[in-house]
């Protein structure tokens, strides 16, 4: 069946323009002049996409977005804003809007938005449950042509998928028999802990919107991987994913890197150069360590986001851009804003939705699975004839280590341990972590804290008390203490606890 759109605007000219544009794309259109009419149409029809003006006679677009989120959360709704009213667009996206278009409506931008939104809806009907599943070969992509929808070509980088469908085929009403949509690339997210399950759920949810996302997390937690997965699961998957580390580019070259330059615009500019915004057109631009941007570049980035246009260094023409921006930083953005190092208005634009990458110490139950994955990867890369094993006490030590460098540090530890180990088995000594300043987490005789004696005795008493409560059922005691079985066993060994202790 044909995809169907709902248009809500109290200006007849706008309704007519949008209706004609979407009709030429093959959609069926229903229109309303106010929210009351819109609610009646929502009750009578199944829609694949909705566009609403922000200011209506009987309410506003944000209220309608909230209404859609509470009644039909899988229906993508975009808002039509007055030119320059970025605050209203951000507020709508914070409340669940898929994207926005500004008046006067840019027809090409509108077409791209609708194609992406219908694709999102086609894959969202059964996305409520996320599991750790392999990459699916069934992801569909579309590209927009002025009057018709044509199959997209496979992307040259990242995840690309063929066999694109028309808008009619993408209608969610034709998806009744489809299976649960898996997270594309989920096999790169290792771990089954609750933080990782929640991360997978959020990635798939965020892939169904064009809203900017600010990814926070410590170094080594995989923020770029998360950004790539959001892109790979979105309707932009067949378009470029372009990443830049804002802290690695000299400040004097940053403007040219982001926006491009014209030949002769500065010393060394021997030819025209497209900036990253232009290269990412239609896709996703990932600004890693965005808090490192100098203030003068923050102003120019803010303008590009608000106007959706860029101008190359030395150029005079403005180029329209269609780019989703994902940002990341290991710094506390609130502190950066408070200290005056990051503009509040730019942070407001970039942090429409916040996502935190969990640290490894907050998901230690994933360590055995991560260890197996990393060791297999090392063996493949080095073409080792036999896989490297790891002793139980070495895994215990890793589960109790603080990991300030997170997964990246775990990879480095195992890479070195593979080189040092004998008989193809990694021991605790091969890890060389007992002498590190961050040391083993919590309390052990070999790594006293600043309150060494008291904390050591308190921890020992806590473990013995739990063991006595459970009649030395270690599994039950571990559950009571909020530890894994391996962690409890390791701490019993480190603290020298045996059944003869009577407390």
Higher-confidence position of 479 and 454:
479
pLDDT for 191-243, tens place per residue?
999 999 999 999 999 998 999 999 999 999 999 999 999 999 999 999 999 99
φ, ψ (nearest 5 deg) of residue 56: -125, 160
pLDDT for 330-370, tens place per residue?
988 889 999 999 999 999 999 999 999 999 999 999 999 99
| CATH architecture under which domain 1-176 falls | 3-Layer(aba) Sandwich (3.40)
Tokens of residue 1, six digits = 């069946």
**Domain 361-431 is found in CATH 1.10.8.60:** yes
- Residue/partner pairs of 249-252 with CB below 8 Å, 24 or more apart: 251/294, 251/296, 251/297
CB 172 within 8 A of CB 121: yes
Higher-confidence position of 347 and 476:
347
Using pLDDT thresholds of 50, 70 and 90, give the confidence band for residue 184: confident
Higher-confidence position of 14 and 128:
14
At residue 489, does pLDDT exceed 90? no
CB 319 within 8 A of CB 364: no
In the prediction, which pLDDT does 221 show?
95
Q: Which of 400, 410, 404 is nearest to 443 (CA)?
A: 400
At residue 17, does pLDDT exceed 60? yes
- What is 212-358's CATH number? 3.40.50.300
At residue 402, does pLDDT exceed 50? yes
Domain with CATH 1.10.8.60 in the chain: 361-431
At residue 140, does pLDDT exceed 60? no
At residue 454, does pLDDT exceed 70? no
At residue 178, does pLDDT exceed 50? no
Q: Which of 239, 207, 41, 185 is nearest to 124 (CA)?
A: 207
The pLDDT mean for the chain works out to 82
Domain with CATH 3.40.50.2300 in the chain: 1-176
Cα 1 to Cα 4: distance, rounded to the nearest angstrom: 9
Tokens of residue 446, six digits = 């070999």
CB 47 within 8 A of CB 172: no
- pTM comes to 0.71
Domain with CATH 1.10.10 in the chain: 452-495
**Domain 452-495 is found in CATH 1.10.1740:** no
pLDDT for 311-333, tens place per residue?
999 988 899 999 999 999 998 88
Query: Considering only 106-115, 336-345, 435-444, which range has the smallest mean pLDDT?
Result: 435-444
At residue 114, does pLDDT exceed 70? yes
Mean pLDDT score, 406-428: 92
Cα 348 to Cα 131: distance, rounded to the nearest angstrom: 32
At residue 265, does pLDDT exceed 70? yes
Cα 412 to Cα 456: distance, rounded to the nearest angstrom: 30
């Amino acid at each position: 069946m044909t995809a169907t759109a709902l248009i809500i605007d109290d200006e007849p000219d706008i309704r007519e323009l949008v209706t004609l544009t979407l009709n030429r794309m093959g959609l069926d259109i229903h229109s309303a002049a106010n929210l009351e009419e819109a609610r009646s149409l929502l009750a009578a029809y199944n829609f694949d996409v909705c566009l609403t003006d922000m200011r209506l006679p009987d309410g506003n677009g944000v209220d309608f977005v909230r209404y859609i989120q509470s009644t039909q959360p899988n229906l993508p709704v975009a808002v039509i804003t007055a030119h320059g009213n970025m605050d209203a667009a951000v507020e709508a996206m914070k409340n669940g809007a898929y994207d926005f278009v500004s008046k006067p409506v840019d027809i090409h931008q509108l077409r791209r938005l609708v194609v992406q939104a219908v694709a999102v809806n086609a894959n969202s009907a059964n996305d409520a449950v996320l599991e750790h599943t392999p990459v699916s070969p069934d992801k569909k992509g579309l590209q927009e042509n002025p009057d018709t929808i044509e199959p997209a070509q496979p992307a040259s980088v990242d995840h690309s998928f063929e066999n694109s469908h028309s808008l009619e085929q993408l209608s969610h009403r034709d998806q009744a028999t489809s299976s649960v949509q898996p997270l594309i690339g989920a096999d790169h997210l290792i771990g089954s802990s609750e933080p990782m399950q929640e991360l997978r759920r959020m990635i798939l949810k965020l892939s169904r919107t064009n809203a900017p996302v600010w990814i926070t997390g410590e170094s080594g937690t995989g923020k770029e991987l998360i950004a790539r997965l959001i892109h790979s699961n979105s309707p932009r998957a067949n378009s470029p994913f372009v990443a830049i580390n804002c802290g690695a580019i000299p400040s004097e070259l940053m403007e040219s890197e982001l926006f491009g330059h014209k030949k002769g615009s500065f010393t060394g500019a021997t030819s025209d150069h497209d900036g990253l915004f232009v290269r990412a057109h239609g896709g996703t631009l990932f600004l890693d360590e965005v808090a490192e941007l100098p203030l003068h570049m923050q102003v120019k980035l803010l303008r590009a986001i608000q106007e959706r246009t860029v101008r190359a260094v030395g150029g005079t023409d403005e180029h329209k851009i269609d780019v989703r921006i994902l940002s990341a930083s290991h710094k506390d953005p609130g502190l950066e804003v408070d200290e005056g190092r990051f503009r509040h208005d730019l942070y407001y634009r970039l942090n429409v939705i916040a996502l935190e990458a969990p640290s490894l110490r907050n998901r230690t139950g994933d360590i055995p699975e991560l260890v197996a994955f990393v060791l297999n990867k090392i063996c493949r890369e080095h073409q080792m004839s036999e896989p490297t094993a790891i002793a139980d006490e070495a895994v215990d030590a890793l589960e109790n280590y603080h990991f300030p460098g997170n997964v990246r540090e775990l990879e480095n530890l195992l890479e070195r341990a593979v080189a040092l180990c004998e008989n193809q088995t990694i021991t605790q000594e091969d890890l060389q972590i007992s002498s590190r300043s961050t040391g083993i987490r919590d309390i052990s005789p070999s790594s006293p804290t600043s309150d060494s004696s008291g904390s050591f005795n308190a921890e020992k008493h806590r473990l013995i008390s739990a063991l006595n409560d459970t009649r030395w059922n270690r599994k039950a005691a571990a559950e009571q203490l909020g530890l894994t079985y391996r962690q409890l066993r390791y701490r019993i060994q480190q603290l020298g606890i045996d059944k003869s202790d009577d407390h």
